[in-house]
Amino acid sequence: MSGFRLYALLFLVALSAPLTDTIVAASPSSTPSLGEQIRGHYETVLPSLPPDKQRHYALRLYRLTGDDAYLPPIRDEVLGILPRWQKAMRALPYASQRQALANQIVDDYRDDTPKYQRRKALLRRSGELPFAKQLLYRVNQLEELHLAGVPPFQDTDRALAYLREFDFQSFVLDPEVIKVYSAQTANLVYYLYRLGLQDLREPYQQAFRSVYPPDTPHQGLDLQEKIYGMTHLVIAASGYYQHAVARKDFAWIFDYFEHRAGHVIQGTKPDVYTEMALCFLLAEEPDNPVIGKVKAALEREFDDKADMIPATDGSTDPARGEHRNTLAVMLYYWPEKLHTGPDLSPGKPPETKTPGLARRFPDAITPSIWYQRPDLNRHAREGNGF
C-alpha cells in the first residue's frame, strides 16, 4: 500500500470515532442536519482533497473543537512547502532572485475569470510584492502554529527583517488594489499587525470605506468584493477563528450587515454570506437574526444528494466546494469556546479528545517528531509559490 493510501486510511479511521460521537450527540433524530451531512461528507473525502484544502478544513475544525485528530493535514501541508520556503530563504539577499520568484508566482496565478485576470494584471506591475506577500503569509502561519524559528523553519528572523523594510502600505491602501483585492488586503493588514511590523488597521478601514462607502449600494462583483472585505476585517481580527472580537471595533460593519442582510444574501454567493453570519458568532451574538436568515438561505441551496452546498454553476466537486462547505460546517458547529493554534512546536503534549486515538493513529499526537518523518518529505511538493 502506498504511503498516501495508508495515510488516507489512517486519517479516516482517526476521524471516524469523533465524527460519529459528535453526530449522535448533536441530533437525537434519525435525520441528520445540514451541518452534519456536510461534515460527514467532507470528513469522508478529506484525504483525497489537495493538501491546501485538507489543511484549510482541518485548521478550521481544530479551532472549533481543539481535537488533535485534525493535526495531520495541518502539519503535512506546512511541511509540503518546505522546499519552497528554503528556495525563498536562498533568494532573500538578492533582489534579482526575489523578483524572479515574484514573476513565477504571478505566472502561476489563476486567470480563468475576469476577477482573477484583473488581480493578475495588478500583481504583474507590483514589482516583488507577490514575493513579499507570500512570505508575509507564511511567516504569520508559522507564528500561529508556534513553528517560527523552529527547525526546519529556523530562518524566520531573516524573513521578518526583510518584511519590516518592505513597503506594504502603498499596496494595501491603494484604492485600485482594495477594489479588486479586498479580502486579501484586509488579511495583509492583520498579518503586519500581528507580527509587530506595522499597524495599518485604522488607515485601512478609512481607505476601504472610501472605496466602498457603506451607504452606497453595490451590485455584482463590486458587492461581493465589498462584503468579502468587510467580513475579512472581522475574521482577520479574530486571528481566523481563534478568539472573539468586540462588535464596537467594527460597528459600521455589523450595522451594515443587520440592515442589508437580505441584499447581501440575494446578491452574493454562499461563501460570502456565510462569512457574514460567522462574524456575528465571532462577536458573541449567536441569537442575531442574520444567522437565521443565512441558515435558511443555505438550506435552500443545499444538495441533499451530494451532501454539500454546490457552486453557483451547480458543481458538486468537493475540492472546488471546500471553502464554502467548511464555512457552513462552522456555522452549524460553532462552539462555546474557540481554540488557538494549534501548537505544533516540538515537545508539545497531546490534547486528543478522541478515545483510543493514540493506539489507532499515533502520528496525530506526536508533534515532536513530525518534521523528521521521511514519508512526509517524499510528499513535499516543489513549486514557485511558498
DSSP string, 154-211: TTHHHHHHHHHHS--HHHHT-HHHHHH-HHHHHHHHHHHHHTTS---HHHHHHHHHHH
Rounded to whole angstroms, how far apart are CA atoms 373 and 270? 38
Beta-bridged to residue 308, according to DSSP, are 303
Of 93, 124, 135, 71, nearest in space to 348 by CA: 71
CA distance 3 to 380: 13
Residue of 161, 24, 71, 60 whose CA lies nearest to 376: 71
**How many Cα atoms within 13 Å fall on the side-chain side of residue 294?**
33
Q: What was the pLDDT predicted at 81?
A: 87
Whether the bond between 152 and the residue before it is cis, its omega within 30 degrees of 0, is yes
pLDDT at 5: 38
Alpha-carbon distance 121 to 238, whole Å?
Answer: 31
Can you give the pTM of this predicted structure?
Answer: 0.84
C-alpha distances (whole Å) from 339 to each of 83, 268, 342 are 29, 30, 8
Residues of the chain with pLDDT under 50: 1-30, 354-385
Q: Which of 246, 270, 269, 247 is nearest to 258 (CA)?
A: 247
Residue with cell 462607502: 213
Give the torsion through C-alpha atoms of 178, 142, 18, 13, to 10 deg.
110
Ranges assigned E (strand) in 256-332: none
The tens digit of pLDDT for each residue in 349-371 reads: 555 554 433 332 334 333 333 34
Query: What's the confidence (pLDDT) of residue 26?
Result: 38
Closest C-alpha among 78, 4, 1 to residue 46: 4
**CA pair distance 354, 257, nearest whole angstrom:** 38
- Asked if 135 contacts 162 with a C-beta cutoff of 8 angstroms, the reply is yes
129 with 109: CB under 8 angstroms?
no
Query: 214: helix, coil or strand?
Result: coil
Degrees (nearest 5) of the Cα angle 168, 169, 172?
Answer: 85
